[in-house]
Structure 1
Amino acid sequence: MLDINELFKEEYSVLEEARLAAADATLPADACREKLWSVAKHYQRLIRESYRVISRSDRAERELNRMNEQLQKLAAQLEYEATHDPLTAVFNRSAIINHINKSLTQANVALILLDIDHFKRINDEYGHPTGDRVICALVSRIRRALPESASIGRVGGEEFTILLPEARIEDAMIIASYIHSSLNASPLDVLPQQLVTASFGVSLGMKNSDFENLYSAADAALYTAKKRGRNQVALHEDFFRQAPPVQANIALVR
């Protein structure tokens, strides 16, 4: 523990001499002035040292604050990198699964599962860098079609999930159909020479169910969409009566 008396031992000694001198009525004025001057010099030194210590303390505090900010930024960056796909900046597989399971503890959720049609051909014909740009452009177009409450996750190379919390199956069908129409309306800017389309599977998860059941139903619908020619939206038959097809190329999973 820091001993204040030891730290300021010299100053205490000078102050004691000055106190004794002040109490000694017989002490000559010159001697009193000498003691007073000694006190003044030590006081000036004490002020300088105190300022130096305080300055060091301030610098140390600023440095600690700076390091703390850097650590917080690094922690946030690591958290982001652990939960997001590095190419598209959407949730990665583990993060979107956790997000879906958490949402299912609170309410029903709708899930759209989509897979880019013939993506391997794009990679083979134009190269993987172009394929990556296609994925990013497609995600950007999807984002524009989604409400703020929706979340996108990349669960495979060209497979994505769209989580719609507290949504009805009708809402999910409308959104999936809108994205489908958007992709068919015009080519992506990064590949203007051809349309990039996708197949969609739509399902609804009831509160307190889990990701596996919800994903399995959406995946079954997606399989049907692919089997029937791709570039269409499919809905599991459990929900068909709740959400009749909103366009001609919506398939029913049986």
Structure 2
Amino acid sequence: MTASVRRYSPADPGPDLFEQEAGVLQAARALYVADDADAERYRAALGDLTLHFERLMRETRRLIARSDRAEREMNALNQQLQTLTQQLEYRATHDALTGVLNRGAVIDQAGQALRRNGGAMIVLDIDHFKRINDEFGHPAGDRVIQAIARCLQELVQAPAIVGRVGGEEFTVLLPTLARDEALTMTERLRQRIAQEATGPAPVTASFGLSLNPPGTEFELAYGLADAALYRAKRGGRNQVVLAD
């Protein structure tokens, strides 16, 4: 013998959660309109109504408390989700070692800025970085990279863009097309690194600089600055070279 299962449709909401209370209320209404009801029956009906009303109040308070607790928990979860989303967005666009923009974010943001306004593209590379890693170990190399990033962040402010595009290579986009202004800032960066980016050995960096009008693609601006950087390397390092 199989048990029958009752199926509910939208027109059939299913069992009444307040079936007992509805029965007590119906009996009280019937008693109210009856002509022959005596005081004892009224008293009994009033007692039933009181008991069920008190039960409903307790259940209502319990449900309100549960709802408030659920709302607080939901708000806390939403806050955690927002925090996690922000952390994921940050990690997706920033270099984990230095906190500056990572390669993908640099290409995206600098590319948009170049197409819109142009700018001075700086590409810098730490001199003799492989020697630092080989002689003193990768942790020492990481500390040098972090020191370079701090120097850049201290001097370069928004809306300029700073990012790490390779192991020991950084890119800076300055919102200027003025040759002297761009050269001055680049020279300040070179000097700051030579003075303050301390490590197990003297730390310097070579710089390539390109000036790019609005509408320039990132690849072109970067390629010009990168070619100037290699000229700086071949010319003795620890210097700034402006692209032709």
TM-score with structure 2 setting the length: 0.89
Q: CA deviation at 1:155?
A: 0.6
Counterpart-to-counterpart distance in 2, 1:187 and 1:195: 10
- Look up the equivalent residue of 1:87 and give its one-letter code: L
Q: Residue 232 of structure 1 aligns with which residue?
A: 239
Q: Describe the superposition over 1:197-247 as per-residue Cα deviations: whole angstroms up to 9, x where unpaired.
A: 00000112222221100001101110111111010000012xxxxxxxxxx
Moved more, 137-146 or 38-47: 137-146
Q: Describe the superposition over 1:23-81 as per-residue Cα deviations: whole angstroms up to 9, x where unpaired.
A: 22321112101101100110111111122222222222222222222222112111111
Q: CA deviation at 1:167?
A: 4.8
Q: Describe the superposition over 1:58-109 as per-residue Cα deviations: whole angstroms up to 9, x where unpaired.
A: 2222222222222221121111111111100111111100001111232112
Counterpart-to-counterpart distance in 1, 2:47 and 2:136: 88
Counterpart-to-counterpart distance in 2, 1:105 and 1:188: 33
Q: CA deviation at 1:110?
A: 1.4
| 2:97 is aligned with 1:90 | no
SS at match of 1:7: coil
| 2:79 is aligned with 1:69 | yes
| 2:164 is aligned with 1:157 | no
Counterpart-to-counterpart distance in 2, 1:169 and 1:64: 55
| 2:226 is aligned with 1:219 | yes
Q: CA deviation at 1:5?
A: 7.7
Number of residue pairs aligned between Structure 1 and Structure 2: 234
Q: Residue 20 of structure 1 aligns with which residue?
A: 30
| 2:67 is aligned with 1:57 | yes
- Same amino acid, percent of matched pairs: 47
Counterpart-to-counterpart distance in 2, 1:41 and 1:149: 70
Q: CA deviation at 1:124?
A: 1.2
- Look up the equivalent residue of 1:209 and give its one-letter code: T
- Look up the equivalent residue of 1:206 and give its one-letter code: P
| Contact 1:187 1:194 survives alignment (8 Å) | no
Counterpart-to-counterpart distance in 2, 1:60 and 1:135: 47
Q: CA deviation at 1:166?
A: 4.6
Counterpart-to-counterpart distance in 1, 2:157 and 2:145: 20
The counterpart of 1:79, out of the listed 73, 89, 92, is 89
Q: Residue 112 of structure 1 aligns with which residue?
A: 122
| Structure 2 residues not aligned, in runs of 5+ | 1-9
Structure 1 residues 177 and 166, CA gap change in structure 2 (3 angstroms): closer
SS at match of 1:234: strand
